[in-house]
Amino acid sequence: MQVAKNKVVSIDYKLTDGSGKTIDSSENHGPLLYIQGIGNLIPGLEKELEGKKAGDHLKVTIPAKDGYGERNDSLCQSVPKSQFESTEGLEIGMQFEVETEQGELVVSVTKIEGDMVTVDGNHPLAGVELHFDVTVKEVRDASAEELAHGHVHGEGGHHH
Ligand code: ZN
């Protein structure tokens, strides 16, 4: 069976950045299961996996624009500490959700200076060229329920 829209695909992968530093690896948490063609994965990787089958191994480089997008400097903002409900435990790297006109956005604290806090709404991997080393483990049909939920059920997926 080949990877195609609405198939459940199980992959082992290692993700590194341009300098060879490992960003994420299925060695740490087991294979990734996703449904092809519905936006579970970054578009660049879905495209490379289309038509592949169990046992196929591929090494692909995905430019930031087909990965987590280019960095958008307008998502970086300095806000006064007084706008935070609490500044207790406020530290660099902390993440929280904010309401924006475009909906909820996860932002990270990138700088704390005096009374000002810089928050960045870019995905941590925005602007990063992604190097994937992927092995397809299994391809199967998604169940109607999985398609309705938009995610994989069972081992390696959602349990509910
Ligand atoms: Zn579900």
Query: Cα(35) to centroid of ligand 1, in Å?
Result: 12
Distance 140 CA to ligand 1 centre (A): 17
Note whether 94 and 21 are same-domain residues.
no
Residue 101 has a pLDDT of 82
pTM: 0.80
Triad 34, 1, 61: Cα angle to 5°: 55
- pLDDT digits over 88-143, tens only? 888 999 998 888 787 888 899 999 999 999 999 998 899 999 999 999 999 999 99
If you measure from the C-alpha of residue 110 to the centroid of ligand 1, how many angstroms do you get, rounded to a whole number? Answer: 34
Residues with CB under 5 A from ligand 1 (ion): 149, 158
Is 131 inside any structural domain?
A: yes
Closest CA to 24 of 43, 11, 36: 11
Answer yes or no: is 2 within a domain. Answer: no
Give 80 Cα–ligand 1 centroid separation in angstroms.
Answer: 40
- Residue 155 falls within a domain, yes or no? no
Q: Say whether pLDDT at 66 is over 80.
A: yes
Asked if the structure places residue 1 within a domain, the reply is no
The Å distance, Cα 156 to ligand 1 centre, comes to 12
Residue 92 CB partners (closer than 8 Å, separation 6+): 109, 110, 111, 112
Strands 130-141 and 103-113: unpaired
Is 44 found in the same domain as 115? Answer: no
Q: Which amino acid is at 51?
A: G
Domain with 37 in it: 7-68+125-149
**Token pair of 127 as six digits:** 């602007």
Please give the distance, rounded to the nearest whole angstrom, from the Cα atom of residue 93 to the centre of ligand 1: 30
DSSP string, 73-111: GGGEEEEEGGGSS--TT--TT-EEEEEETTEEEEEEEEE
- Count of domains forming the chain: 2
**CA 106 to centroid of ligand 1, rounded, Å:** 23
- Quick one: 30 and 17 in the same domain? yes
39 CA distance to ligand 1 middle (Å): 15
